Amino acid sequence: MDSGVSLQVNKINAIPKLFFAEAACHGFLPAWSCTNLPEMFTTPETLARLAAFPTISADSNETLIRYAVSRITAAGGRIHTMAGAQPGKFNLLASFGPDTGAGLVLSGHSDVVPVQGQDWQTAPFTLTQKDDRLYARGASDMKGFLAAMLTAAERMESKRLRRPLHLAFSYDEEIGCIGVRNLLLQLRAENFQAQGCIIGEPTEMRVVTGHKGKLAGCICCRGIPAHSANPASGATPSTSPPRWCGRPRRCNPGLPPMARGI
């Protein structure tokens, strides 16, 4: 079983508390708002419900989105669901507090990678606790953060917020960040604004402020057709790629061996 499917119980319970503390420090909430929080669903209880939705990227995420909408609506949030380009795929933006552009976005994706052909020791879509860890497909990446988002939202009253809080749920991150692209395009068209965004990908509870990045390109090689009896009268493009494959090595001699290609 991949260690990425497990989450420590004490860590997932701490996330909403950390959010409240930071929100108070940065003016989103009064300092006293972290006390006397109502007892509702705990974050592990919420995670158990989210993990039960088999939202593999190839399948629909509608049931999970409907569940999130019901929880957020009951907590007094404003709902904005957006249908994706593929049937059964949905993005969701929920908002709490004043309707201004000075808010904070908590963002996570709802899809998970497949489980077929893997040696699972527990049921992948049933949250299972062993010692101090919780196991399920997507428990860490990243339904654990979605559960923390819902838990945090339910524990604040909209009237307490000085600045808005937004929860963003996207689809199909695991196969190319497809859903969030559509989400961002639509929010841009609607002139949506916020001051910051926290993306809850697993980073061992450490803040990561940048991405390693990548450079991708496409090389198109064209040839000149010729009969196999007289190949010299044409040009085959199959000889061009090998020459190009060695160029990253020459241009970047300091790259690790596996990054240099052929």
Residues recognised as catalytic: 111, 173
Q: How far is residue 158's CA from residue 35's CA, in Å, rounded to a whole number?
A: 16
Q: Facing residues of 80 across strands?
A: 93
Q: Which has the closest alpha carbon to 79: 102, 99, 95, 61?
A: 95
- Residue 144: count of CB within 10 angstroms of its CB: 29
Q: Which two tokens stand for residue 236?
A: 């085959």
Q: Which two tokens stand for residue 168?
A: 């963003």
Q: How far is residue 71's CA from residue 165's CA, in Å, rounded to a whole number?
A: 15
- Residue 156: count of CB within 10 angstroms of its CB: 24
Q: How far is residue 219's CA from residue 222's CA, in Å, rounded to a whole number?
A: 10
Instruction: Report the residue count for the chain.
Output: 262
Q: Which two tokens stand for residue 67?
A: 């569940």
